[in-house]
Amino acid sequence: MSTTLTGKKIAFLVAPEGAEQVELTEPWKAVEEASGSPALVSTSDGEVQAFNHLDKGDRFPVDQVVSKTTADDFDALVLPGGVANPDFLRTDEDAVAFVRGFFDQKKPVAVICHGPWTLIEADVVRGRTLTSWPSLRTDLRNAGATWVDHEVVTDGFLVSSRKPDDLPAFCGHLVELFAARQ
């Protein structure tokens, strides 16, 4: 029996520019292939500019503005990385509140690469074990998390991963976690 996300709406929160494109598109594709409904949420309407490391990638249309939605409207959340993406999101009060809402409701969250910076700002990593891009190790430890260097880490309703090379495992784990949560 295959894992299905039928009827589940999954938020992908990204800044107007700076999300690592593959960390947006591969989980998005995994959600769609599992019959879920992904929605691109950003801090402003229009389009977001993704990046392939430091080079501009494709542009993607925004489905919802974060200031006009809440975690109540979604079943799960994906936070792609890219250095600029979470660095911008963690300075936006609406984005931080949106993320915190998923944790308050114990809804599944998937985060990769530099994405945990937004989790740190939302003050939701204390007591959790997760992974990230290695440069976030000290930030996560200082925020009360246990950082480990593993391809994928699941801690309750949070799944985390380190980098684009980990995407196949990350996508599989996030679909399983999202499907298991009611």
Report the greatest alpha carbon distance in the chain. Answer: 42
pTM over 0.95: yes
pLDDT for the residue numbered 3: 83
Which of the following is catalytic: 53, 114, 150, 173?
A: 114
Check if 113 is active-site. Answer: yes
What is the rounded distance in angstroms from the CA atom of residue 166 to the CA atom of residue 113? 10
Which of the following is catalytic: 113, 150, 171, 173?
A: 113
| Nearest alpha-carbon partner for 122 in 84, 155, 159, 95 | 95
pLDDT in tens, 141-166: 999 999 999 999 999 999 999 999 99
Quote the mean pLDDT of the chain.
97
* 9-180: in CATH 3.40.50.880: yes
Residue that is written with structure tokens 């769609």 in the block: 32
Check if 53 is active-site. Answer: no
pLDDT in tens, 62-114: 999 999 999 999 999 999 999 999 999 999 999 999 999 999 999 999 999 99
